[in-house]
């Protein structure tokens, strides 16, 4: 028996008359073709068809995801400075995570009126209740982390798990003594690693599994002692794919000191030219994926237009950054162990949720924000271990469903129900969010999609007021060689003029650079991570022609390498076996 009969009847009439065909996005004016597959997902979740293109929806969801942002905010009650992913100019308040967990925000309930727009009423509630400043899932130890799952002795690591003694990482897990690592599992003593697994004592490597004692490697799996290796496996002593004997390799390698920034940049440029002019790229970097379209899919089954979904993703449609068992979901970003969720950003161990943000161990939530261990709630913010709440106010089960039916029916009639929260409800700065980093959103998209536009330096979010500028030094003064830098540089404010922010060296950071022979960087770590992500394939797909067989294929746009030779998967696999 339906618990929301009036809504179900109204949405059924809409869905029964929905046919495949061309539509125009209400926000961007772009046209797209609605397929039977897309309509099938609307029917599965009993929601009305969206008036936005799939890319627009993913960009909005991504606009609620941190990316790699670090801002100074203030404690909601004491004004004490707190480092957070939430920008103070977003209008949202924060509390330290552990303090937030002790609170019961159901006392902040509000009455609502079904005759008035839903989102305006929700915003008033949202602005009253603080968010977790770091939004950690498992509290890190002795670390500066956001979205952590138990990092230890690490600094400026985001959305990672069980990393130890790492710096400046995003989506990394079980890594040790490594820095500038992105979308990596198990890297040890390594630097500047993108989309890789099981990497040891290596630098400048991407899209591979199994690499040791190497530098400048691309799709070079189970290789060791290589310098410039691409589209190879089970190799040793390669020099830009030239096979050397062990003595020749050691002689050449000894002559290159990557501990000097000028030397590292020179070889990095040669490597990039090598990838563009001499190397064939695959259609995608998927591994063990069947019946899928997308990028960076690992172990996926029957998932389409997905990005960076790993472990056990099954039957997904437009999903990104999922881990563990995530299945039967659509328009989902940042999920782990999530089942049958629709249009959610960050869902951990949750099922049956729709149009919600930052939910952990929840079931059947709709339009909820930052809730934990809740069930059957609608339009709630900051609740823990609650059932049958609307706008944070409790109801009996019978009354709850009657009110939800009225709410959803009214929202459907106003064309509110079926779309995610307005983008200006996001806690993060849009132009540095996941939407900008992975979905290629810029100022044009910010205006089209309704993002809040503010100066990222506003409200002292970048800590300018905390910097002793009398001790500041220019980035041009940073020595070229790691041997020329000492602990005297620790704690010295250094301004990155392009980013407009100060950074400094940490003592354990310099120790790691010396240990691994890494040249001292002369850019802010936020900028370095952002540039590294641009080297990887994005979450925006386009149609290309295979350079070998001429077949049409779906590929990801790459900002650093827009012009390259790409083969479809079938042609590439044959090529890979021939050359490797």
Whether the per-residue pLDDT at 199 is higher than 90: the answer is: yes
Whether the per-residue pLDDT at 344 is higher than 90: the answer is: yes
Query: For residue 248, is it within any domain?
Result: yes
**According to the model, what pLDDT value does residue 312 have?**
85
Query: For residue 130, is it within any domain?
Result: no
Q: Are 183 and 208 in contact (CB under 8 A)?
A: no
Q: Which of 279, 303, 332 is the last residue of a domain?
A: 279
What does the alpha-carbon distance between residue 508 and residue 263 come to, in Å, rounded to a whole number? Answer: 24
Q: What is the mean pLDDT of residues 127-142?
A: 97
**According to the model, what pLDDT value does residue 92 have?**
99
Query: For residue 42, is it within any domain?
Result: yes
How many domains, in total, are found in the chain? 3
Mean pLDDT of the chain: 97
Q: What percent of the chain has pLDDT over 90?
A: 98
**According to the model, what pLDDT value does residue 226 have?**
99
What does the alpha-carbon distance between residue 510 and residue 22 come to, in Å, rounded to a whole number? Answer: 56
**According to the model, what pLDDT value does residue 127 have?**
98
Tokens of 79: 């004004």
Select from 204, 216, 270 the least CA-distant residue to 531.
204
Q: Phi/psi at 219 (nearest 5 deg)?
A: 45, 55
Tokens of 132: 């977790």
**According to the model, what pLDDT value does residue 580 have?**
83
Query: For residue 107, is it within any domain?
Result: no
Whether the per-residue pLDDT at 1 is higher than 80: the answer is: no
Q: What is the mean pLDDT of residues 496-519?
A: 96
Whether the per-residue pLDDT at 469 is higher than 90: the answer is: no
Q: What is the mean pLDDT of residues 44-52?
A: 99
How many CB atoms neighbour CB 442 within 10 A? 11
Angle between helices 397-413 and 118-128 in degrees, nearest 10:
120
SS3 assignment, position 336: strand
Sequence-separated contacts (24+) of 189-196 with Cβ below 8 Å: 189/515, 189/516, 190/516, 191/516, 191/518, 192/532, 194/532, 194/533, 194/535, 194/536, 195/285, 195/296, 195/536
Query: For residue 207, is it within any domain?
Result: yes
What does the alpha-carbon distance between residue 567 and residue 579 come to, in Å, rounded to a whole number? Answer: 14
Under the banding of pLDDT at 50, 70 and 90, the label for residue 504 is very high
**According to the model, what pLDDT value does residue 164 have?**
98
Q: Which of 279, 306, 335 is the last residue of a domain?
A: 279
Query: For residue 242, is it within any domain?
Result: yes
Q: What is the mean pLDDT of residues 474-486?
A: 96
Strands (E) across 529-578 are located at: 541-545, 552-556, 565-567
How many CB atoms neighbour CB 1 within 10 A? 3
Element (H, E) at 346: strand 342-351
What is the tens place of the pLDDT at every residue in 79-117?
999 999 999 999 999 999 999 999 999 999 999 999 999
Alpha-carbon distances of 164 from 191, 210, 241, 487, 507, rounded to whole Å: 14, 20, 33, 22, 16
Whether the per-residue pLDDT at 330 is higher than 80: the answer is: yes
What is the tens place of the pLDDT at every residue in 255-294?
999 999 999 999 999 999 999 999 999 999 999 999 999 9
Only one residue has tokens 């002692």, namely 225
Query: For residue 199, is it within any domain?
Result: yes
**According to the model, what pLDDT value does residue 255 have?**
98
What does the alpha-carbon distance between residue 533 and residue 226 come to, in Å, rounded to a whole number? Answer: 23
**According to the model, what pLDDT value does residue 465 have?**
87
Query: For residue 384, is it within any domain?
Result: no
Q: Which of 279, 312, 347 is the last residue of a domain?
A: 279
Whether the per-residue pLDDT at 380 is higher than 90: the answer is: yes
Under the banding of pLDDT at 50, 70 and 90, the label for residue 383 is very high
Q: What is the mean pLDDT of residues 188-197?
A: 98
**What is the extent of the structural domain holding 475?**
463-535
What is the tens place of the pLDDT at every residue in 545-554?
999 999 999 9
**According to the model, what pLDDT value does residue 373 have?**
98
CA 448 to chain centre: 21
């Amino acid at each position: 028996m339906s618990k929301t009969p009036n809504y179900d009847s109204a949405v059924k009439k809409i869905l029964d008359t929905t046919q495949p065909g061309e539509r125009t996005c209400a926000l961007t004016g772009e046209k797209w073709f609605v397929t039977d597959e897309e309509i099938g997902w609307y029917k599965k979740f009993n929601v009305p068809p969206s008036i936005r293109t799939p890319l627009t929806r993913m960009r909005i969801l991504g606009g609620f995801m941190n990316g790699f942002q670090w801002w100074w905010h203030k404690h909601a009650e004491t004004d004490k400075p707190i480092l957070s992913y939430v920008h103070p100019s977003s209008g949202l308040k924060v509390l330290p995570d552990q303090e937030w967990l002790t609170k019961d925000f159901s006392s902040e309930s509000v009455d609502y009126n079904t005759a008035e727009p839903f989102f305006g009423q929700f915003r008033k509630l949202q602005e009253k209740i603080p968010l977790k400043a770091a939004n950690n899932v498992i509290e890190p130890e002795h670390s500066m982390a956001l979205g952590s799952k138990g990092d230890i002795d690490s600094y400026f690591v985001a959305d990672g798990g069980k990393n130890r003694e790492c710096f400046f990482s995003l989506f990394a897990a079980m890594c040790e003594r490594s820095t500038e690592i992105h979308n990596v599992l198990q890297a040890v003593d390594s630097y500047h690693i993108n989309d890789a697994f099981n990497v040891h004592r290596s630098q400048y490597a991407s899209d591979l599994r199994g690499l040791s004692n190497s530098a400048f490697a691309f799709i070079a799996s189970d290789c060791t002692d290589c310098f410039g290796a691409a589209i190879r496996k089970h190799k040793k002593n390669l020099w830009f794919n030239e096979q050397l004997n062990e003595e020749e390799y050691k002689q050449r390698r000894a002559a290159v000191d990557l501990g000097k920034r000028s030397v590292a940049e020179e070889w990095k440029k040669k490597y990039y030219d090598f990838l563009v002019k001499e190397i064939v790229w695959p259609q995608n970097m998927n591994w063990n994926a069947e019946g899928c379209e997308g990028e960076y899919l690992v172990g996926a089954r029957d998932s389409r237009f997905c990005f960076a979904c790993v472990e056990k993703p099954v039957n997904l449609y437009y999903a990104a950054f999922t881990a563990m068992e995530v299945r039967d979901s659509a328009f989902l970003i940042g999920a782990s162990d999530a089942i049958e969720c629709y249009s959610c950003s960050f869902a951990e161990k949750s099922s049956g949720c729709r149009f919600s943000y930052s939910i952990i161990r929840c079931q059947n939530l709709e339009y909820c924000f930052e809730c934990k261990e809740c069930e059957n709630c609608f339009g709630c913010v900051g609740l823990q271990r609650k059932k049958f709440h609307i706008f944070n106010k409790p109801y009996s089960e019978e009354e709850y469903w009657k009110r939800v039916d009225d709410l959803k029916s009214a929202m459907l009639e106003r064309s509110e129900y079926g779309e995610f929260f307005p983008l200006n409800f996001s806690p993060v700065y849009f132009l540095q969010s996941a939407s900008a980093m992975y979905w290629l959103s810029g100022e044009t998209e910010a205006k089209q999609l309704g993002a809040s536009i503010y100066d990222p330096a506003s409200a002292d979010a970048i800590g300018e007021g905390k910097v002793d500028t009398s001790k500041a030094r220019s980035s041009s003064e940073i020595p070229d060689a790691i041997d020329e830098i000492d602990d005297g540089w620790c704690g010295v404010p250094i301004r990155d003029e392009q980013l407009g922010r100060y950074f400094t060296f940490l003592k354990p950071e310099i120790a790691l650079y010396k240990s691994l022979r890494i040249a001292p960087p002369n850019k802010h770590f936020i900028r370095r991570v952002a540039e590294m992500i641009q080297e990887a394939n994005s979450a925006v797909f386009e149609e290309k022609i295979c350079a070998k067989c001429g077949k049409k294929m779906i590929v990801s746009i790459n900002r650093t390498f827009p012009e390259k030779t790409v083969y479809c998967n079938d042609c590439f696999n044959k090529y890979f076996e021939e050359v490797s």
